[in-house]
């Protein structure tokens, strides 16, 4: 097993998906970096917010 941390896997997943979408949807390198960073931040922040929203409702 390469990553034991759930948050580590989240970061890894967000990195891959953000990079691929940024390269696919933007042509200019500067725009790709900006879009990729925004997407990555949105992934991580979104996961945090959803995680806390689900906190009162454990399975």
Partner 1 sequence: MRATTIERTQGAHPLLVWIAAWLVPGAGHLWSGQRLKGLVFLVMLPAMFAIGLALDGRLFPFELAQPLVALAAIADLGIGLPYLVARVLAAGGGDVIAVTYEYGNTFLIVAGLLNLLVAFDAFDIAAGRKG
- Per CB under 8 A, the list member of 11, 17, 44, 47 interacting with partner 1 is 17
Select the residue interacting with partner 1 from 7, 11, 14, 24 (CB under 8 A). Answer: 24
User: What sign has the CA pseudo-torsion 33, 14, 20, 26?
Assistant: negative
7 near partner 1, rule: CB under 8 A: no
The answer to whether 43 and 18 have CB atoms below 8 angstroms apart is: yes
- Positions in the binding site for partner 1 (CB under 8 A): 1-4, 6, 9, 12-13, 16-17, 19-20, 23-24, 27, 29
């Amino acid at each position: 097993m390469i990553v034991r941390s759930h948050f580590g896997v989240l970061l890894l997943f967000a990195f891959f998906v953000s990079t691929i979408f940024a390269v696919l949807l933007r042509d200019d390198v500067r725009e790709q970096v900006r879009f990729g960073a925004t997407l990555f931040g949105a992934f991580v922040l979104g996961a945090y917010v959803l995680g806390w929203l689900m906190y009162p409702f454990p399975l």
